[in-house]
Amino acid sequence: MTCQLNPGSLLLLLPPLLLLCLVRGSQQTCLSMCLCVSDTVSCSSSGLSKVPLSLPSFSVTLDLGHNHITWIAAGSFRRMPRLENLRMAHNQVSSLGPGAFNNASGLRLLDLSSNKLQVVEQHYFQGLWRLEELLLFNNKIVQVEASTLMGLSSLKKAYFSHNQITDFPFFSIQDHSHPFLTMLDLSSNRMARLQWEDVKALPGLVQRGLYLHNNSLICDCAMYSVFWHWDFRGYDPLRDFADEHTCSISGDPRASIRFLRQSRFFSNCSVEKAISQPVTVLLSNVLVSEGELLHLDCQTSLSGEDLSFTWLSPGKGFIAQSGVNDTLISVFANGTLEIRDAKVNDTGMYVCTALDTKQALNATREVNVTVIPPAPESFNTGYTTLLGCVVTMVVILMYLYLTPCRCSCCKQPKPPAIPIATYDHSTLASVFSPRDEHKMQMNKHVAFVEDGTEWTPEG
């Protein structure tokens, strides 16, 4: 027998060999510049220019952020079947090869924000039916191809903000195709005119979380009507970014208005209240001074002989046409509401409903009434201010002319004017007498100012 090795010594050699194998294995799969911990691999800021192919196959999270990766080749992640979170923010990715996410259908989060994507092509996210969050903000995207989001049936949040998108395929998002989508961020793009019919047809959950502020919207009634409804329902994007909702008048970017604040530009717009019903709301604003006679017309989309009118007022509730003729508020046969002697507390939203009983139609009009306080009050304030000025001036002059003389001649210490809280007449007199003296001097001084003659101190 030439071979002297017995099975026992072989067994002794096995453990170190196994260990060597394991170490080799992990060295092959975790690159030196990456950090591989449990189910997470971090290769951020590692100077990578392409997606590394040898990474642990069991990772759930892969961070490739802050590198120089320019594109994602087909099947880049095919050896990572458990991958759920892929972070590639802050790279130079300008395009994705066909089948980039082949065999990576487990992805739930894909972060490609702050890259250089220009066109989001329809094949980009093919097969990612489990994807819940798609982050594409801060790229150079000008176009999102029509069927890009098709197949992303688990999508919950999609961020397209801070790009140069001019149009978006809203029609590709429907109740059955995207039942979980609750956030679609298209803010800070370059959208001027949208297919508002498509926007209105979006699932309710998407409308509730649709961010469209800071675009290049052009003011028109179709646009305003959509935002009016969202604002009316108090949706978060409108509440949180009310000031960033701007539109430009006839497309001139310099004539930009905050349309949620300056609704008067849309006072002639009609707002469909429900798509299925011929109900319209006309918005207008009325500003009157207190005491004026106020006429609010109930012009709606309905016209004809057989209309009856009801007004809902903020202070007095429903006011019907045939109701009691209040001496201050009444409704005429043509629907006009008359408020005689308007008061500041009449301010508020007035809603008129015109009812066509024959055709079973109704329509409403809203008027935002603001009653401002009467003018005399402002005169009074002005008068008070003027008086205050004169008194101040007199006091200053008294200080300048009167005080030094008194001190040098008489050197009489002033009695401490501590008011005593008692209603005894004599005490009151003694407390107020020094002030009366001052008043007299004040009067003299006023006379001096008016006469312009030299004032001689009394002896």
Ligand X SMILES: *[C@@H]1O[C@H](CO)[C@@H](O)[C@H](O)[C@H]1NC(C)=O
Which residues of the shown chain bind ligand X in the complex (CB under 6 A)?
Answer: 78, 102-103, 188, 214, 263, 265, 267-268, 277, 285, 295, 297, 315, 325, 330, 332, 334, 336, 343, 345, 349, 353, 355, 362, 368, 370
Q: Whose Cβ is closer to ligand X: residue 113's or residue 353's?
A: 353
Find the shortest distance in angstroms from Cβ 455 to ligand X.
48
CA distances from 239 to 162, 185, 208, 219, 283 (A): 20, 15, 11, 19, 20
Residues in CB range of 326: below 8 A, 6 or more apart: 316, 319
Q: Whose Cβ is closer to ligand X: residue 92's or residue 357's?
A: 357
Residue 298: closest CA among 337, 247, 345:
337
Q: Whose Cβ is closer to ligand X: residue 265's or residue 399's?
A: 265
Find the shortest distance in angstroms from Cβ 416 to ligand X.
46
C-beta of residue 108 within 8 angstroms of C-beta of residue 83: no
Q: Whose Cβ is closer to ligand X: residue 46's or residue 263's?
A: 263
363 dihedral zone (left: phi>0; alpha: psi -120 to 50; beta): beta
Find the shortest distance in angstroms from Cβ 103 to ligand X.
4
C-beta of residue 229 within 8 angstroms of C-beta of residue 271: yes
Query: Encoding tokens for residue 143?
Result: 């176009």
Find the shortest distance in angstroms from Cβ 268 to ligand X.
4
Q: Whose Cβ is closer to ligand X: residue 170's or residue 224's?
A: 224
How many angstroms separate the CA atoms of 51 and 6, rounded? 48
C-beta of residue 140 within 8 angstroms of C-beta of residue 117: yes
Q: Whose Cβ is closer to ligand X: residue 44's or residue 138's?
A: 138
Element (H, E) at 414: none
Find the shortest distance in angstroms from Cβ 151 to ligand X.
14
Find the shortest distance in angstroms from Cβ 358 to ligand X.
13
Find the shortest distance in angstroms from Cβ 154 to ligand X.
19
Find the shortest distance in angstroms from Cβ 362 to ligand X.
4
Q: Whose Cβ is closer to ligand X: residue 24's or residue 190's?
A: 190
Residue 248: closest CA among 206, 291, 223, 218:
218
Query: Encoding tokens for residue 11?
Result: 């067994």
Q: Whose Cβ is closer to ligand X: residue 25's or residue 253's?
A: 253
Query: Encoding tokens for residue 402?
Result: 């009167």
How many angstroms separate the CA atoms of 51 and 302, rounded? 65
Q: Whose Cβ is closer to ligand X: residue 343's or residue 358's?
A: 343
Find the shortest distance in angstroms from Cβ 82 to ligand X.
12
> Identity (one letter) of the amino acid at 317?
G
C-beta of residue 299 within 8 angstroms of C-beta of residue 382: no
Long-range contacts of 81-87 (CB under 8 A, 24+ apart): 81/57, 81/106, 82/39, 82/57, 82/58, 82/106, 83/59, 83/107, 84/60, 84/108, 84/109, 85/60, 85/61, 85/109, 85/111, 86/62, 86/110, 86/111, 87/44, 87/61, 87/62, 87/63, 87/111
CA distances from 151 to 82, 235, 254, 261, 444 (A): 20, 27, 41, 39, 92
Q: Whose Cβ is closer to ligand X: residue 75's or residue 203's?
A: 75
Query: Encoding tokens for residue 308?
Result: 């009856």
Find the shortest distance in angstroms from Cβ 449 to ligand X.
41
Q: Whose Cβ is closer to ligand X: residue 18's or residue 293's?
A: 293
Angle (nearest 5°) at CA 25 between 22 and 28: 150
Find the shortest distance in angstroms from Cβ 345 to ligand X.
4
Q: Is 292 helix (H, G, I), strand (E, B) or coil?
A: coil
C-beta of residue 217 within 8 angstroms of C-beta of residue 189: no
Q: Whose Cβ is closer to ligand X: residue 169's or residue 291's?
A: 291
Find the shortest distance in angstroms from Cβ 334 to ligand X.
4
